[in-house]
Chains A and B, each alone.
Chain A
Amino acid sequence: MASLPIPAAQPGGDPGSEVAPRIGARALCEGLVARGVTTIFGYPGGTVLPIYDVLREFPLRHILVRHEQGAAHAADGFSRVTGEVGVAMATSGPGAINLITGLATAMMDSVPMVAITGNVPRALLGRDAFQETDIVGIALPVTKYAALVTDPDEVPLAIAEAFEIASTGRPGPVLLDFPKDVLQIETSAPHPGPGDLRLPGLLRPVRGDVPEADELAEMIAAAERPLILAGHGVQIAGATELLREVAERSEIPVAHTLLGIGNMDETHRLSLGYAGMHGWMHVNKAIQHCDLLIGIGMRYDDRITGKTSTFAPRARIVHVDVDRSEIGKNVRADLGIVADAGDLLAALGRRLPQSPRRDAWWAELEAWREVSLQRSWHGSGAWRQGRLSADYVVEQIGEATGHTATLASDVGQNQMWAARYFGFRRPFAHVSSGGLGTMGYGVPAAMGAAVGRPEHETWAITGDGGFQMTMQELATLVAEQIPVKIAVLNNHKLGMIRQWQEIIYEGNFHSAELFGPDLVRLCEAYGMPGFRATTPEEVVDCIAAARAAPGPALIDFQLDDAQNVYPMMLPGKGLSDMVEGGS
């Protein structure tokens, strides 16, 4: 690896002085390195070739994906497990547009990311040049910030500001678009120091003690059936330990949103499970019967609340979020607190006395939990009757990996099964497109997660539908030898579509059956190990074989026909009337 051409241009150097001229592409790469970037997921094209021309000079690993959507999801997965800003790169026009699904996914789930795109030279902007598109205009509603960098001298500052915006306050994706000639022209502009950023409009959370915790502590003291509903914000804030301490100190059970999974070890006595449309019945029941609901770092979105008029009817509702605009957006809050989840939990911890156990509340919860576990497919033990069921597969992957693997799920039934049955024990292990619900997310997100945290075994759990949307990334996994283990829960269906058509559309099935390739032979074609399980007896061996493979591997789990995810909250209904089903 060649040494950096301009080592003096690091933050903390003399920001005012000019540096030796270098082209914009080099200034851009220096900026990435200065921000701690190690990995770029990208795909070359005409307008970003100036960057590829100098990339080798920098300590930046470039992972060549097979489609730009894969680059965006991989950067997203990388970011979710590391807490760092993931980086994706694409060329102008179609390349940039292919990033959009990934940007929207990251925006919905507050994932910090920087997307770098090339555009046509400045003189051609607006002339419908080859592969020109107004990517900033397209990206505006699905990014935290997007800008066209029109001056080579602005490159260092633009990069620094992009990372600052992406990672400050409520994180999100940022897109920077560079006309090709901006990357080719020399600039002497230095890299900015921390004080040189011009971001007066960036919301920076007020850090430190949270005075409103006084009122919340009083509400907790007065409550008989309190419940914490913890979301993604707790992990983003790095506050999972503080959450556990507050729960233990105040003896409050903790429910989780889909992206809040991993906030607490699921075997912890105060961890209740995950809530929502396909969440655990007893958790939803707890929400409906609690007298104080404390939402921390979450959005009270429709998949959690159902019909808001019937949501948590007995509770005073508290909403803690770092983003002021979330408070009161979906659900009325009796107490809204704008704060970092970690600051709030720390402030609360300082104020709360050690509470005695809430025996009466727990007796209710335990009774509901027992029924809830019995009623679900999981409890019915279909696999014991020789039927290969998804819950059994997911549970066995959990068992085999000691429940500590990173698990990226796709979207649909597989996502719900992964969330319900894996048994998560640690934060940053559950990677899922919760807000946007992006099919095709699982495999490329797992790829990014495996690169970001190679010390953790990484699995992708996907359906045969989502898998086929981005399966071209198998080539990336093989070429880069990224050891992702892929479990395809293969029911030859768009399972969640079929489930809705069965339950809501009176069995009027359309486009629910899905033809797909022979996945084992597909793996053979890509040069990676592929396994197939058709009975429960084969599950454990297949998992072991996939784990034993040094690089990527795939298991085609041929599921028992037409298994549904239960319980299910029907659209337009509330958490109190959920549908149960045996199979």
Chain B
Amino acid sequence: MTDADVRHVVSALVVDKPGTLNRVASLLRARSFNIESLTVGTTHEPGRSRMTIVIRGDDAHTHQVLAQLNRLIEVLEVVDLTDASRFELELALVECSVPADAAARRAIKDAMATAGGELLTAGPDGWRLRLAAAPAQIEIALAALRGHGLRNLVRAGSVAMAASTPSQIGEKP
């Protein structure tokens, strides 16, 4: 990674078939991209899945790779949402020790306020919360929790949607 590296949020519409994820991941690996997050789920259309891929790279290199991604038979549409107005959301499940003092309680409360949080359980073995917010907000919340008993973390990765119709990397007629 270099200083020119930018966090790219890419949305790809793909064919829902065995091997599609393999092919997409394999292409990114072959070009030495580390995948920061990749989510995949079904869409409103049968047989179509939507991937949200977060990778870091300089713009030119990343766009060239996205053009290669668009070339795959399994890929129907690729959109780089990095510079687009978009909704981006991530889900995180967090486990903390039972708060030891008022500061710890405040940290958990602040974290939940920052990142759309909800307390799931507050048992004697620990507290579990759910965060749902933009990844940057999640980061802020997690920073607040570190040092106050954060002991387990499961993140779902970003899902993103353009706020208006974005331009594609090439057209598939």
| Contacts A201-B75, A323-B71 given; does A141 touch B26 at CB 8 Å | yes
Q: How far is the CB of A364 from chain B (nearest CB, A)?
A: 34
Taking a contact as CB atoms under 8 Å apart, the answer to whether B71 and A325 are in contact is yes
How many residues of B sit at the interface, in one of the four size bands? 20 to 34
Which of A105-113, A142-150, A283-291, A506-514 lines the interface with chain B?
Answer: A142-150
Taking a contact as CB atoms under 8 Å apart, the answer to whether B173 and A201 are in contact is no
Chain B residues with CB below 8 A from A327, complex form: 67
Taking a contact as CB atoms under 8 Å apart, the answer to whether A148 and B173 are in contact is no
Chain B residues with CB below 8 A from A199, complex form: 73
Chain A residues with CB below 8 A from B23, complex form: 140
**Chain B binding site: helix, strand, loop or mixed by DSSP?**
mixed
Tell me the B40-92 residues at the A interface (CB within 8 Å).
60, 64, 67-68, 70-76
Q: How far is the CB of A70 from chain B (nearest CB, A)?
A: 27
* Interface mask (A167-209 → B, CB under 8 Å = 1, otherwise 0): 0001000000000000000000000000000011111101000
- Does B152 belong to the interface (CB within 8 Å)? no
Taking a contact as CB atoms under 8 Å apart, the answer to whether A324 and B70 are in contact is yes
Taking a contact as CB atoms under 8 Å apart, the answer to whether B73 and A202 are in contact is yes
CA A137 to CA B26, docked complex, whole Å: 10
Taking a contact as CB atoms under 8 Å apart, the answer to whether B68 and A325 are in contact is yes
Our pick among A136, A170, A200, A338 for the contact of B172 (Cβ within 8 Å) is: A200
| Contacts A201-B73, A206-B173 given; does A328 touch B15 at CB 8 Å | no
Most buried by A among B19, B67, B71: B71
Taking a contact as CB atoms under 8 Å apart, the answer to whether A325 and B70 are in contact is yes
- Does B22 belong to the interface (CB within 8 Å)? yes
Q: Residue of B at shortest CB range from A200? A: B76
CA A203 to CA B71, docked complex, whole Å: 7
CA A146 to CA B18, docked complex, whole Å: 11
- Does A74 belong to the interface (CB within 8 Å)? no
Tell me the B76-130 residues at the A interface (CB within 8 Å).
76
Chain A residues with CB below 8 A from B154, complex form: none
Q: How far is the CB of A115 from chain B (nearest CB, A)?
A: 15
- Does B170 belong to the interface (CB within 8 Å)? yes
Chain B residues with CB below 8 A from A272, complex form: none
- Does B30 belong to the interface (CB within 8 Å)? yes
Q: How far is the CB of A408 from chain B (nearest CB, A)?
A: 28
Taking a contact as CB atoms under 8 Å apart, the answer to whether A328 and B60 are in contact is yes
* Interface mask (A196-225 → B, CB under 8 Å = 1, otherwise 0): 000111111010000000000000000000
Chain A residues with CB below 8 A from B15, complex form: 200-201
CA A459 to CA B76, docked complex, whole Å: 43
Q: How far is the CB of A435 from chain B (nearest CB, A)?
A: 15
- Does A329 belong to the interface (CB within 8 Å)? yes
Q: Residue of B at shortest CB range from A332? A: B60
Taking a contact as CB atoms under 8 Å apart, the answer to whether A201 and B19 are in contact is no
Q: Residue of A at shortest CB range from B64? A: A329
Taking a contact as CB atoms under 8 Å apart, the answer to whether A144 and B73 are in contact is yes
Taking a contact as CB atoms under 8 Å apart, the answer to whether A201 and B72 are in contact is yes
CA A141 to CA B25, docked complex, whole Å: 10
CA A200 to CA B173, docked complex, whole Å: 8
Q: How far is the CB of A96 from chain B (nearest CB, A)?
A: 16
Taking a contact as CB atoms under 8 Å apart, the answer to whether B18 and A148 are in contact is yes
* Interface mask (B19-45 → A, CB under 8 Å = 1, otherwise 0): 100110011001000000000000000
Taking a contact as CB atoms under 8 Å apart, the answer to whether A137 and B22 are in contact is yes
CA A290 to CA B60, docked complex, whole Å: 26
Our pick among B14, B19, B64, B170 for the contact of A140 (Cβ within 8 Å) is: B19
- Does A568 belong to the interface (CB within 8 Å)? no
- Does A229 belong to the interface (CB within 8 Å)? no
CA A347 to CA B70, docked complex, whole Å: 26
Chain A residues with CB below 8 A from B17, complex form: 147
Most buried by B among A140, A206, A327: A140
CA A204 to CA B23, docked complex, whole Å: 20
Q: Residue of A at shortest CB range from B169? A: A324
CA A140 to CA B64, docked complex, whole Å: 20
Q: Residue of A at shortest CB range from B17? A: A147
CA A111 to CA B70, docked complex, whole Å: 20
CA A206 to CA B172, docked complex, whole Å: 10
Taking a contact as CB atoms under 8 Å apart, the answer to whether B71 and A140 are in contact is no
Chain B residues with CB below 8 A from A325, complex form: 64, 67-68, 70-71
- Does A165 belong to the interface (CB within 8 Å)? yes
| Contacts A148-B18, A323-B71 given; does A201 touch B76 at CB 8 Å | yes
Chain A residues with CB below 8 A from B68, complex form: 325
Taking a contact as CB atoms under 8 Å apart, the answer to whether B73 and A165 are in contact is yes
Taking a contact as CB atoms under 8 Å apart, the answer to whether A324 and B26 are in contact is no
Q: Residue of B at shortest CB range from A326? A: B67
Chain A residues with CB below 8 A from B27, complex form: 141
Our pick among B19, B72, B173 for the contact of A204 (Cβ within 8 Å) is: B173
Taking a contact as CB atoms under 8 Å apart, the answer to whether B26 and A140 are in contact is yes
CA A102 to CA B93, docked complex, whole Å: 48
Q: Residue of B at shortest CB range from A165? A: B73
Q: Residue of A at shortest CB range from B47? A: A198
| Contacts A206-B173, A324-B170, A328-B60 given; does A141 touch B73 at CB 8 Å | no
Q: How far is the CB of B18 from chain A (nearest CB, A)?
A: 7
CA A137 to CA B27, docked complex, whole Å: 13
CA A442 to CA B68, docked complex, whole Å: 30
CA A203 to CA B170, docked complex, whole Å: 9
* Interface mask (A108-150 → B, CB under 8 Å = 1, otherwise 0): 0000000000000000000000000000110011001111100
* Interface mask (A231-243 → B, CB under 8 Å = 1, otherwise 0): 0000000000000
Q: Residue of A at shortest CB range from B29? A: A141
| Contacts A204-B173, A328-B64 given; does A136 touch B19 at CB 8 Å | yes
Chain A residues with CB below 8 A from B64, complex form: 325, 328-329
Q: List 28 A-B contacts (CB under 8 A).
A: A137-B22, A140-B19, A140-B26, A141-B30, A144-B73, A145-B73, A146-B19, A147-B17, A147-B19, A148-B18, A170-B71, A199-B73, A200-B76, A201-B15, A201-B72, A201-B73, A201-B75, A201-B76, A202-B172, A203-B70, A203-B170, A203-B172, A204-B173, A323-B71, A325-B68, A325-B71, A328-B60, A329-B64
A residues apposed to B, CB below 8 Å: 136-137, 140-141, 144-148, 165, 170, 199-204, 206, 323-325, 327-329, 338
Given A201-B15, A203-B170, A324-B67, 5 more pairs with CB closer than 8 A: A141-B30, A201-B14, A206-B173, A325-B64, A325-B67
